[in-house]
Structure 1
Amino acid sequence: MYRGGTADDGEELLSRLESLTARARRLAETQRSRVELAVALQRGMLPRELPRTPGVRLAVGYRPATQGLNVGGDWYDVFTLPDGRIGMSVGDVQGHNIAAAAFMGQVRVGLRALASVTAAPGELLGRTNDLLVSLGADLFATCTFALLDPATGTLDCARAGHVPHVWATTDGDSGVDETEGGPPLGVLSGADYPVTRHRLTIGGVFVLLTDGVVEGPALLLDDGLRQVRDLAADAAVAGGDVDALAADVMDRATAVGHEDDAAVLVVGYDGGSRRAHPPEARDREPEG
């Protein structure tokens, strides 16, 4: 015949439940603190403001992943070189944790620092890659670096394992740049990074982004890029509102089917009124 438990058994059970609840609460608080730290680390390493250059309009969108510890290392960066040209990078670090966020800062700072030696996109990515390989980092990063001459509208791009960029002109023409790129940064020493040359037209837009915007379980990469291309084409025809376009592209990130970092950088061009630097000061690179 079954006899019920004693009062002591009930108290022991309650004590165990209280202990488990307290432990779960501590783990949740630790996890939340880690996420908050990683997000703060990410945001602290992104530029606080974008440079202002006559004839060039810039807009960005950024959303860190905050599901569990899925905080990664997406970034965007824009900076002006002494000769007046504008360096731009968008990238994504492997992994989703504090280490990925910290590595993102290293890559971004490395690109900026080495740009003082050479801003030619292919050579810059090559030097950054070799630096990361020499450091023996366990992580790698995909990246696009672009160099814009505001005076001429010439924009040179090189990709390191990164998703293609998108462009559109005021006459309704648009496309996705799927020319050859190099391997991700930090993987293979001595890698080459081919350069593609674009000529920005007045009123046109150029979109750099990370895969969190255009790819996921619910959205194939080609479909995501096509959607962004359509948005860019509509924006260019309507007058090239870069802020609205950046917001629209980020809205598309909700359709990828997972919580991932997402970043976008939109460039609008209104035409250069003067030469930013003498011709002989420019890095020479083959057209793409």
Structure 2
Amino acid sequence: MSRKGPTDDGDELLARLGSLTAQARELAELQRSRVELAVALQRGMLPRDLPGVLGVRLAVRYAPANHGLNVGGDWYDAFTMPDGRIGLSIGDVQGHNIEAAAFMGQVRVGLRALASVTSEPGELLARTNDLLLSLGTDLFATCTFIRLDPATGVLESARAGHIPHIWATADGRAGVDDGEGGPPLGVGRGMEYPVTRHRLTTGGVFVLLTDGVVEGPSLSLDEGLGQVVRLAGIAAVAGLEAGTLASSVIRMAETVGHEDDAAVLVVRHDGLTAGT
């Protein structure tokens, strides 16, 4: 009868460790490839440019959650509609994977396409909801859509399960939008989305964001929104640029206590020239 000696046992252990290490490396490479693909997909589906409109400044900041496999589906968008008004959207898809990133693109493209049929925010969200349900996916998305008339400053918004946006005026008033919202997109047919109307006055700002900016284990939603209200109020009174305010708000994502997508879209009325 033969027996394995200490050397044989050691060699076998080293061989097993080597095999496990190789498998771990292959798995890590596969996971990294999936994350890189999801991030590339995510970034490729976001707009490269923002529309320039006389008297309105737009600024965005975006921080994707690409730690480990935690890649989500937050998005923002801004585009000129056929009637000359500006369409603005921001939203968050359920999940943190490649499927969420792909679904994000479908929602954003769906909103743009249907905006050529109807730009009324409530009807647009209702039609987008029905379109997403027809795709047969189990995912859903929260979203805010805004129609802005640069000539009058009238801003009409509808929300689909999304957190409210923030407003502030140059005379020192600021707050959280208190308009009623509807359910998330993709959860059921025949949904209605009420429309809220505001007016963007000279020096005023509106801040659209996703919950990754203002909510987490270290920060409640009410506290986070309250901090954005203060930042927006200061920015409006001081006449700060839209980009400066957007940068200040996105930094809040570092304090919420978790890794999640974070998106901020700021609209500012300067009454002068347009830019991005």
* SS of match in other structure, 2:91: strand
Q: 1:87 to 1:272 in 2, by over 3 A?
A: farther
Distance of 2:206 and 2:67 partners within structure 1: 30
Would the alpha carbon gap of residues 271 and 152 (structure 1) be closer, same or farther in structure 2, given more than 3 Å must change? Answer: farther
Letter in 2 for 1:21: T
Pairing of 1:8-19 with structure 2 (within 5 A): 8-19=8-19
Aligned partner of 1:172: which letter?
Answer: G
RMSD: 1.4
Tell me, yes or no, if the aligned pair for 1:153 and 1:272 is still in contact at 8 Å: no
SS of the aligned residue for 1:59 comes to strand
Runs of 5+ unmatched residues, structure 2: none
The answer as to whether partners of 1:151 and 1:271 remain within 8 angstroms in 2 is no
Gapped regions of structure 1 (runs ≥ 5): 274-288
Q: Check if 1:170 corresponds to 2:170.
A: yes
Q: d(CA) in 2 for partners of 1:233 and 1:103? A: 34
Amino acid at match of 1:102: A
Q: Secondary structure of 1:62's partner? A: strand
The secondary structure found in structure 1 opposite 2:67 is coil
Cα offset for 1:236? 0.4
Relative to 1, partners in 2 of residues 1:124 and 1:272: Cα closer, same or farther, differing over 3 Å? farther
Amino acid at match of 1:173: R
- Scaled by the length of structure 2, what TM-score is found? 0.96
- What is the one-letter code of the residue matched to 1:224? G
Match in the other structure for 1:6? 6
Distance 1:178 1:226 in 2: 13
For 2:5 and 2:88, locate their aligned partners in 1 and report how far apart those are by CA, in whole Å.
Answer: 70
Q: What aligned pairs does 1:1-288 form with structure 2 within 5 A after superposition?
A: 5-271=5-271
Determine helix, strand or coil for the equivalent of 1:14.
helix
Residue type at the aligned position of 1:182: G
**Aligned-pair CA distance for 1:144:** 0.1
Cα offset, 1:62, TM superposition: 0.2
Contact kept? 1:205, 1:240, Cα under 8 Å: no
Partners of 2:272 and 2:85 in 1: CA distance: 12
C-alpha distance in 1 between matches for 2:232 and 2:96: 29
Deviations 1:47-83 (A, max 9, x none): 0011111101000010100122110100000000122
Whole-angstrom CA distance in 1 between matches of 2:27 and 2:224: 37
Runs (4 or more) in structure 1 with deviation over 4 Å come to none
In structure 1, how many angstroms separate the alpha carbons of the residues matched to 2:171 and 2:271?
16
Shift of 1:188: 1.2
Q: Deviations over 1:28-53 (max 9, x none)?
A: 11111111111110100000011111
1:271: how far off?
3.4
TM-score (norm 1): 0.92
Contact 1:153 1:271 in 2 (8 A): no
User: 3-state DSSP class of the match of 1:65?
Assistant: coil
Q: Secondary structure of the equivalent of 2:131?
A: helix
Amino acid at match of 1:71: V
- Write the distance in 2 (CA, Å) between the matches of 1:122 and 1:75: 19
